[in-house]
Chain A
Amino acid sequence: MVPLSHYLFLSAVLFMTGAVGVLTRRNAIIVFMSIELMLNSVNLTLVAFSSFLGNVTGQMLVFFVMTVAAAEAAVGLAIIIAIYRRKQTVNLDEINLLKW
């Protein structure tokens, strides 16, 4: 059986990959994808804990997280489309009316 630490390590690596993606990439869509990667790595952590603790709360939370992530995609993509219609770009370096 694969020990719990392996799952935790994998999800930590995925989480860090997502976090580095958010901080280094300049395309709003890629940044958004990186955030989704972070959320899903958390889901992996939750499912692993849930399975090893023999407790169903973690899996229940995963369903909520998936729903929240879907709503987040709807809101986020709508905002990105609204910007793209006005400026024809989703590059974060060119979206700089306000002092960052």
Chain B
Amino acid sequence: MLTYTDFLLAMPLFSLTVTVLLIIATEAARVGRARFSQFLAITGLLVTSLLAGLNLRESGVAFQGMIATDAASSYLTILLSLAGIVTALVARPYFEHRDAHRGEFYILLLFAIIGMVLMASANDLITLFLGIELMSFCLYVLAGFERTKDKQNESALKYFLLGAFASAFLLYGIALIYGSVGSTNLDAIARAYAGISNQPLFLLGTAMLIVGLGFKVAAVPFHMWAPDVYEGAPTVVTGFMATAGKSAAFAALAIVMIRTFDIGGSTTADVLALLAAASMVLGNVVAIAQTNLKRMLAYSSVAHAGYLLAGVAAGTAEGFAGVFLYLTAYTVTTLGAFAVIGWHERTNDEGTSLDDYVGLSQHQPVIAAVMALYMFSLTGIPPFAGFIGKYYVFMAAVRADLTWLAIVGVLTSAVSAFYYLRVIVMMYFRERDGEHIPLPRIPVMIALGITAALVIVVGVLPSTVLQLFMPAM
């Protein structure tokens, strides 16, 4: 039986779907140009985040147990909408500059966000699988959005082949878990978990699930696609998939591993802790050797996946809160950093190398200052958002007897300071001899303003943010 509450709980999903159908209709009828689609997309995302905000204090299960809405999923919907808004703002100047501004971009962007919201509010492995696939298909196409560019085509193909390969593992994992529990509903699996958590069939299913989701979050050893895809894709798309894509995948991972499986202290938690340590070490060490800023941030995103996995491996409510807080910090910071890179990039794809940023502070002091803010936040220097995120996940790891993992995390953060601060050194302490780059257009300025303000707000008022998605804490 469908009730009125079902629709109320799924309201953000409906508003996104209506918006995307509207955009498709206007695109098909050719009434508006791409900028009209952009306007519709931003309006729809604003409405969605408003509706999700109204759902923040609601919780319940809708559509025969397929979807569960609670504070955490509503909060993540707001975060994903925000990432969508920032991406839509930055996309128009970026693509117009390249003569590639088309309405399809916003259709794919919104479909991807629908998939992500589905993942964050999944209460059934079927919903989870559909959400992941919807998100992934849109991201494959977005990665190769400018069809005439070889680099983007290659990035899309690599992402597609490895992504589909990982999806097959994820699906096999779902099938094996279904076989050992007899249901795909997460509540049913949670009830059966204590009795079956040591069955080989169930453990194999869990391992396959970790492989599939580990690929989506780009954790070592499933990270090999990330540097190539991040470097080859259009910069606005890279920013979107590095932040929103990772947030949705980590929300799914946290929901399955912490809420459903209750992995705290089990072998599964140990495996996740090992993956976390490997991601932190490899991501940070290889990032040092990178000269292209996009590629460097790709390896840095592998390292951040490691920090986030530490929160998941803790397996406690504290870890869950830490993961969500970290996702907020990482999303606002990295979106901003990619917005700066997208502005600095030339139409021939040059201008993303570290050397191109030499002396940016003499040339565009405001943008250089904002970029420095993002780099401080990514390093984890207080009082910025990145520090608070790290503090909460490492605290959760220590309380869950994973002190060694927290130590690895702190040490690798120190290593990461080297390459993040190198960007600042390049911008501030070298003489400029490069070309003159005009100030970004107003939408990009707004996007930078929003993200920079949030980096500081999340860093200064973490408990306010925490209460949004964890009313009990």
- Give A contacts to B, CB under 8 Å: 8, 15, 18-19, 22, 28, 31-32, 35, 38-39, 41-42, 45-46, 49, 53, 55, 57-58, 60-61, 64-65, 68, 71-72, 75-76, 78-80, 82-83, 86-87, 92, 95-100
- Give B contacts to A, CB under 8 Å: 126, 129-130, 133, 137, 140-141, 144, 147-148, 150-151, 153-158, 160-161, 164-165, 167-168, 171-172, 174-176, 178-179, 182-184, 224, 227-228, 231-232
* B126 and A60 form a contact (CB under 8 A): yes
* B126 and A83 form a contact (CB under 8 A): no
Instruction: Enumerate chain B residues within 8 angstroms of A79, measured Cβ to Cβ.
Output: 140-141, 144, 153, 156-157, 160
Dominant secondary structure at the A interface: helix
In the complex, residue of chain B having the shortest beta-carbon distance to the beta carbon of A40: B168
Dominant secondary structure at the B interface: helix
**Complex: how many Å from CA A75 to CA B183?**
30
Partner of A42, one of B140, B150, B171, B183: B171
Instruction: Enumerate chain B residues within 8 angstroms of A19, measured Cβ to Cβ.
Output: 165, 168
Question: With contacts A32-B164, A39-B168, A71-B137 known, is A45 near B179, CB below 8 A?
Answer: yes
Instruction: Enumerate chain A residues within 8 angstroms of B176, measured Cβ to Cβ.
Output: 45
Question: With contacts A72-B133, A79-B157 known, is A38 near B126, CB below 8 A?
Answer: no
Q: How far is the CB of A99 from chain B (nearest CB, A)?
A: 7
**Complex: how many Å from CA A32 to CA B151?**
20
In the complex, residue of chain B having the shortest beta-carbon distance to the beta carbon of A99: B228
Q: How far is the CB of B227 from chain A (nearest CB, A)?
A: 8
* B154 and A97 form a contact (CB under 8 A): yes
Instruction: Enumerate chain A residues within 8 angstroms of B126, measured Cβ to Cβ.
Output: 57, 60-61, 64
Partner of B178, one of A8, A18, A49: A49
* A53 and B231 form a contact (CB under 8 A): no
* B151 and A98 form a contact (CB under 8 A): yes
